Structure 1
Amino acid sequence: MLVPCSDGKFCNSQLRKSVNRLSTPDVEENQDKKPSLQERINIQFIESGEKERLMELLRERLIECGWKDEMKALCRSFIKKKGRNNVTVDDLVHVITPKGRASIPDSVKAELLQRIRTFLMSVAL
């Protein structure tokens, strides 16, 4: 079926309906959008390698204080209670995550927060 097109000519409406693609964004729109402060900070953490260093520090501190062993014991207890074949990883994550977050020692949180503050002061975004 022929229908009028925007240029004044006639087009086949079946062909127009068959093209389902998103419009491409204008280059100017993307250039005007500046990353938010949070995005800039995240980029700095990743590019500098500080994010990986902080993650490694967190792993070390959680092992040192026995947190990792405590979480492992909680997982084993939950699996034993529910039965090995009746537990999924998602079940474990759902049950253990709130307990794990709540049991991180304040000293570990304070140390990480201080390291983050020091890093942010050094890059002075």
Structure 2
Amino acid sequence: MKHSVNRPPTPDEDVTESPERDELTLGEIINIKLVESGEKENLMELVRDRLVESGWKDEMRIACREHVKKKGRKDVTVDELIRAITPKGRASVPDAVKEELLDRIQNFIRSAAL
């Protein structure tokens, strides 16, 4: 069975038995294991919480409002807003949040023996 490029296999699809296993990259394997174990959702929740605690979410809300105010409410689409704000958002994620996430992923990889 071919797996979608946009989603990892569902838990009932056993990728370890699949002949396509050799075609998966290490990143794809890690992503699949994160999803199967439920750890990916835990990591997403951790990041959301840390971004709120750090004030990042409020900064992005303000940046979005300023962009809409500058362009005019009727002249801004959601897609345009995302394109305009995403680079600033990615660049302004606190290093502490990135480090904590990286540590958690590394610990997961070690514990999963990947």
TM over 0.5: yes
What residue identity is the alignment partner of 2:83? H
| TM-score normalized by the length of structure 2 | 0.79
TM-superposed CA distance for 1:32, in Å, is: 3.4
Aligned to 2:65: 76
- Structure 1: 5+ residue stretches without partners: 1-30
TM-superposed CA distance for 1:98, in Å, is: 0.2
Greater Rg by CA: 1
| TM-score normalized by the length of structure 1 | 0.73
Indicate which of 83, 102, 106 corresponds to 1:113.
102
Higher relative contact order (CA 8 A, sep 6+): 2
Q: Which has the higher strand share?
A: 1
How many residue pairs get matched? Answer: 95
The answer as to 2:21 corresponding to 1:34 is: yes
Inter-partner Cα distance in structure 1 for 2:28 and 2:93? 26
TM-superposed CA distance for 1:33, in Å, is: 2.6
1:1-125 equivalences in 2 (<5 Å):
32-35=19-22, 36=24, 37-125=26-114
- Structure 2: 5+ residue stretches without partners: 1-17
